[in-house]
């Protein structure tokens, strides 16, 4: 994939994350902060489908943005064909792993499988 | 006679002709062929209000240590030969006055991010190679001027779009200051990228797509993060950071 | 013999001094980015405890809803706000917006891209981060 496409995705995920994370944080301020973290309220949030979709989107956007950023930093630190391949695929794997792990939490909680 | 003597005495006490000030010049001495690392040699050098760092180095070379290796030529910030790190910041030695550094100790070292040849002299091969990679010449099909003389007309406004970036003297200070180049040897560097923009912005040039393809690389324009250090150190007002961001605008679709 | 590359290395990348506030902003952007990524991974892991029921969730809260946890979260808030605000400035700059117009340079060659607007935006990002941290502290410790 051309680097310009990757960086456009990086910028796009950044802008998307800003909006969605702001909404995510505001949800915690709809009531007292410590109250909003109570088990029942959190589960109720997950079971509200639009919020679950928002969480899933935040997870994907932030994972892509964060791990691409890490890939850029690691590529700048050292160069070499095998190292660069390892960094790229490593970051992709970590990204996929985190998305899978987080999606499992969102899916199972929203379906009431806690 | 006594009146003239009186005036001479007054002038000699109130307006000294020579300041007779000295600074300590620390020069990094390193020969990669037989030294394991750089060592600093200290020299006490007299200076005046107008003495440049290059003057001081040549003073040392003339009177104190003939072996100091330094590259210089025009002594007027035109050739870009005397780039070095002076008190931690890349500068042209001929363009930096000792008095403006406000320090009793002046440390001169070779520019970072360039292989050292000896002492203050660095190898410019990579800078020139990357610069050549940008195809730094006007690209167009009809560049041969036939007998029916053809001018490439350019208005003052069109000229203004790129002339600033044509001022580059290839001194390498920008590459030395760049935080990406500190760790990424494959990065093209602000000098080459700015020269790519110099030609892309020139309305006589038709090679924009070719150059955009060259810089669209994982160690190309995208490894610039707009830290701006290149523009801070450029001695000719080229402002490489501006050129690179304007060039990136083409890839991002902000400019056509 | 391999030529000594004479790269400054991480020391050069990590040194925010010598080149003005823009270099400090670059350095802060890197640090906050890495910090936020580390927090994000930890956050995804800690919130997965909800799958193990109320007990597990409450023990997780006992770990995180402490004074240290709140201070840490306040730092995260600051990092997030700075990274976002400065990121928007950098993104616009990357598109060539706000970097000035090319012109014939005149001595003393002040670079147009290092203009007051960008410096103000950097200071504003730092200021916004500080404000957000203060608000965060008031929410977290104000109950």
Under 8 Å between Cβ of B106 and B86 = yes
Q: How far is residue B177's CA from residue B16's CA, in Å, rounded to a whole number?
A: 39
Domain end among B88, B105, B122: B122
pLDDT tier, C142 (very low <50, low <70, confident <90, very high otherwise): confident
- Domains held by chain A: number: 1
Under 8 Å between Cβ of C12 and B112 = yes
% of chain B exceeding 90 in pLDDT: 77
Residues B190, B175: one domain? yes
Contacts of A78 in chain B (CB under 8 A): 183
Nearest chain B Cα distance for residue C25, angstroms: 8
pLDDT of residue B9: 59
Domain hosting B161: range is: 125-252
Look at residue B7 and tell me if it is in a domain. Answer: no
pLDDT tier, B2 (very low <50, low <70, confident <90, very high otherwise): low
Domain hosting C69: range is: 19-36+45-97+110-141
Q: Does C44 touch chain A (CB under 8 A)?
A: yes
pLDDT tier, B16 (very low <50, low <70, confident <90, very high otherwise): very low
Taking only residues 11 to 30 of chain C, the set having a beta carbon closer than 8 angstroms to any beta carbon of chain A reads 13, 30
Question: What are the structure tokens assigned to A80, written together?
Answer: 């070499």
Distance of CA B210 to the CA centre of its chain: 27
Look at residue C3 and tell me if it is in a domain. Answer: no
Residues B129, B118: one domain? no
Q: How far is residue B221's CA from residue B190's CA, in Å, rounded to a whole number?
A: 9
Question: What are the structure tokens assigned to B225, written together?
Answer: 């993060």
DSSP labels, A34-83: HHHTSHHHHHHHHHSHHHHHHHHHHHHHHHHHHHHHHHHHHHHH---HHH
Residues lower than pLDDT 70 in chain A: 114
pLDDT tier, B121 (very low <50, low <70, confident <90, very high otherwise): very high
pLDDT tier, C4 (very low <50, low <70, confident <90, very high otherwise): low
Q: Is B245–C22 a contact, with Cβ atoms under 8 angstroms apart? A: no
pLDDT tier, C1 (very low <50, low <70, confident <90, very high otherwise): very low
Look at residue C105 and tell me if it is in a domain. Answer: no
Residues B40, B113: one domain? yes
**B17, pLDDT greater than 60:** no
pLDDT tens per residue, range B106-120? 999 999 999 999 999
Q: What is the pTM of this model?
A: 0.88
Residues B103, B141: one domain? no
Instruction: From residue B37, give the alpha-carbon distance in Å to each of C4, C10, C33.
Output: 10, 19, 35
Query: Helix (H, G, I), strand (E, B), or coil: what is residue C70?
Result: helix
More confident residue, C120 or C1: C120
User: B111 — phi, psi (to 5°)?
Assistant: -60, 140
Which one, of A48, A18, A103, lies nearest residue C44 by Cα?
Answer: A103
pLDDT of residue C2: 42
Look at residue C4 and tell me if it is in a domain. Answer: no
pLDDT tier, B143 (very low <50, low <70, confident <90, very high otherwise): low
Look at residue C13 and tell me if it is in a domain. Answer: no
Q: Does C9 touch chain B (CB under 8 A)?
A: yes
Contacts of C95 in chain B (CB under 8 A): 245, 248-249, 252, 254
Q: Does B228 touch chain C (CB under 8 A)?
A: yes
CATH number of the structural domain spanning residue C29: 1.20.1300
More confident residue, B123 or B144: B123
Look at residue B151 and tell me if it is in a domain. Answer: yes
Q: What residues contact residue C44 under an 8 Å CB cut-off, 6+ apart?
A: A59, A98, A101, A102, A105
Look at residue C82 and tell me if it is in a domain. Answer: yes
Contacts of C7 in chain B (CB under 8 A): 112-113, 181-183, 185
pLDDT tens per residue, range B59-94? 999 999 999 999 999 999 999 999 999 999 999 999
Domain hosting A57: range is: 3-110
pLDDT of residue B93: 97
Nearest chain C Cα distance for residue B111, angstroms: 8
Query: Helix (H, G, I), strand (E, B), or coil: what is residue B36?
Result: coil
ipTM above 0.95, yes or no: no
Q: Which of B82-86, B88-92, B138-142, C88-92 has the lowest mean pLDDT?
A: B138-142
- Domains held by chain C: number: 1
Which one, of B196, B191, B85, B204, lies nearest residue B141 by Cα?
Answer: B204
Q: Does C42 touch chain A (CB under 8 A)?
A: no
Q: How far is residue B207's CA from residue B200's CA, in Å, rounded to a whole number?
A: 7
Q: What residues contact residue A70 under an 8 Å CB cut-off, 6+ apart?
A: A91, C34, C37
pLDDT of residue B15: 47
pLDDT of residue B11: 52
Q: Which residues of B139-178 are buried (b: 16+ CB within 10 A; e: fewer)?
A: beeeeeeeeeeeeeeeeeeeeebbbbbebbbbbbbbbbbb
% of chain B exceeding 70 in pLDDT: 89
pLDDT tier, C16 (very low <50, low <70, confident <90, very high otherwise): confident
Look at residue C26 and tell me if it is in a domain. Answer: yes
**B149, pLDDT greater than 50:** yes
pLDDT of residue A33: 79
Instruction: From residue C131, give the alpha-carbon distance in Å to each of C25, C29, C78, C128, C136.
Output: 18, 18, 8, 5, 8
């Amino acid at each position: 994939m051309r680097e310009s496409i990757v960086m456009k995705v990086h910028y796009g995920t950044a802008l998307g994350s800003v909006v969605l994370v702001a909404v995510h944080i505001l949800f915690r301020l709809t009531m007292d902060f410590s109250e909003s973290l109570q088990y029942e309220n959190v589960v109720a949030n997950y079971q509200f489908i639009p919020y679950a979709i928002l969480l899933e989107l935040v997870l994907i956007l932030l994972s892509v943005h964060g791990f691409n950023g890490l890939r850029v930093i690691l590529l700048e630190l050292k160069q070499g064909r095998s190292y660069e391949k390892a960094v790229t695929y490593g970051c992709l794997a970590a990204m996929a792993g985190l998305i899978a792990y987080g999606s499992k939490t969102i899916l199972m909680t929203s379906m009431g499988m806690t | 006679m006594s009146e003239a003597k009186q005036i001479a005495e007054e002038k000699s006490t109130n307006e000294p002709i020579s300041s007779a000030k000295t600074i300590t010049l620390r020069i990094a001495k390193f020969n990669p062929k037989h030294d394991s690392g750089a060592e600093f040699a200290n020299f006490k050098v007299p200076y005046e209000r107008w003495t440049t760092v290059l003057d001081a180095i040549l003073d040392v070379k003339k009177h104190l240590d003939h072996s100091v290796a330094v590259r210089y030529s025009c002594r007027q910030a035109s050739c870009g030969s005397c780039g070095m790190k002076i008190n931690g910041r890349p500068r042209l030695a001929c363009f930096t006055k000792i008095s403006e550094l406000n320090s009793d100790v002046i440390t001169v070292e070779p520019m970072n991010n360039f292989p050292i040849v000896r002492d203050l002299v660095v190898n410019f091969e990579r800078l020139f190679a990357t610069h050549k990679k940008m195809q730094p010449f006007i690209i167009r099909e009809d560049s041969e001027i036939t007998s029916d003389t053809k001018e490439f007309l350019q208005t003052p406004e069109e000229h203004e779009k790129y002339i600033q970036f044509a001022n580059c003297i290839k001194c390498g200070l920008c590459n030395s200051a760049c935080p990406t180049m500190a760790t990424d040897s494959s990065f093209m560097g602000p000098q080459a990228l700015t020269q790519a923009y110099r030609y892309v912005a020139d309305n006589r040039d038709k090679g924009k797509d070719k150059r955009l393809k060259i810089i669209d690389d994982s160690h190309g324009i995208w490894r610039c993060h707009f830290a701006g250090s290149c523009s801070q150190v450029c001695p000719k007002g080229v402002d490489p950071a501006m050129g690179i961001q304007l060039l990136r605008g083409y890839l991002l679709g902000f400019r056509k | 013999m391999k030529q000594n590359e004479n790269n400054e290395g991480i020391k050069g990348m990590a040194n925010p001094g010598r080149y003005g506030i823009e270099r400090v902003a670059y350095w802060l952007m890197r640090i906050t980015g890495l910090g936020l990524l580390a927090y994000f991974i930890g956050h995804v892991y800690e919130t997965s405890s909800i799958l193990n029921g109320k007990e597990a969730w409450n023990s997780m809260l006992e770990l995180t809803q402490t004074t240290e946890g709140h201070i840490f979260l306040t730092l995260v808030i600051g990092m997030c706000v700075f990274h976002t605000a400065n990121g928007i400035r950098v993104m616009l700059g990357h598109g060539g917006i706000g970097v000035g117009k090319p012109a014939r340079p005149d001595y003393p060659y002040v670079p147009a891209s290092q203009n007051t607007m960008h410096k103000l935006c950097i200071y504003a990002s730092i200021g916004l981060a500080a404000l957000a941290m203060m608000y965060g502290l008031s929410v977290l410790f104000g109950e």
